[in-house]
Amino acid sequence: MNRPPLRNALTIDVEDYFQVSAFAAHIGRDEWPAIAGRVEANVDRILALLAPAGIHATFFTLGWIAERYPAMVRRIVAGGHELASHGYAHQRASAQTPAAFAADVGSSKAILEQTGGQAVSGYRAPSFSIGAANLWALDTLQRAGYRYSSSIYPIRHDHYGMPDAPRFAWYPNGAGSLLELPISTVRLWRRNLPAGGGGYFRLLPYAVSRWFLRRINSHDGQAGIFYFHPWELDPGQPRPAGIGLKTRLRHYLNLRRMEARLGALTRDFQWDRVDRIFLGKP
């Protein structure tokens, strides 16, 4: 008997190009207010891409962004998408004290709920910065009223990752606690390979990402979790001076191909919001 295709979770980390962690040493947070933002136009491009396909997604949004672009946040909600938290000012969870982290996730949740007019259930740490050394952050999220996190990436990476963590949805503190939803990976050659978007989606041929997601759906029988950023659809974004070669390659590679690849992704798979797939929200 043929089963209907699994719905995969489509997620967007809503931040502007100058807020990425790799640029932190070159662009200070005190400079952000003076920089001309591009996130609103890029988010509108994403909304226009998803609407004709009838796709609803989860937008992990910075509180800093929501304060400055409230109309954009309301357009996200009006489009039937889930509004979730990416923290306030894109600070890594691993670089904050417990008290500072609690203040960050609490304020971002409040700002998003007030702006968007809907409850915020989900959180994603900037740069997937929750791991073995700061699992206390999950308790903080639960106390703040979040129901799920998508912050632990079970891969080896030079800036983040917890490769021994489960590959699929799990409760780090037992059933009924905060649900952790890792970005998708494929298990090959006794290691986890990144299969859920980001720079890898731009680096590898589209056929590789399609094969990975199909394997997760068919071989593992699991919903995939895919992510990207609004700035990845913006090849005309300014290029700050002094950025190293490795960072330039990671950030700018194949930006011009991104929109077409996302279009193919929307046609090749079924997509929905995180809360509908994993929390059973109607």
Q: 201 or 1, which is more confident?
A: 201
pLDDT at position 3, please?
53
Q: What is the average per-residue pLDDT within 135-150?
A: 97
Listed as own residue / partner, the contacts of 91-97 with beta carbons closer than 8 Å and 24 or more positions apart are 91/126, 92/21, 92/125, 92/126, 92/127, 92/129, 93/125, 93/126, 93/129, 93/130, 93/134, 93/137, 93/151, 94/129, 94/130, 94/131, 94/133, 94/134, 95/129
Contact indicator for 68, 24 with CB cutoff of 8 Å: no
| Residue 275 reports pLDDT greater than 90 | yes
Pairing outcome for strands 191-194 and 185-188: antiparallel
pLDDT higher for 246 or 83? 83
pLDDT in tens, 204-242: 999 999 999 999 999 999 999 999 999 999 999 999 888
**Structural domains in the chain plus CATH codes:** 7-278 (3.20.20.370)
- Render pLDDT for 64-106 as a digit per residue (tens, 0 to 9): 999 999 999 999 999 999 999 999 999 999 999 999 999 999 9
Tell me the pLDDT band of 1, cut-offs 50, 70 and 90.
very low
- The average confidence (pLDDT) of the chain is 94
| Residue 83, phi then psi, degrees to nearest 5 | -100, 125
Mean pLDDT within 54-60: 98
Average pLDDT rounded to a whole number, residues 138-158: 92
pLDDT at 11 over 60: yes
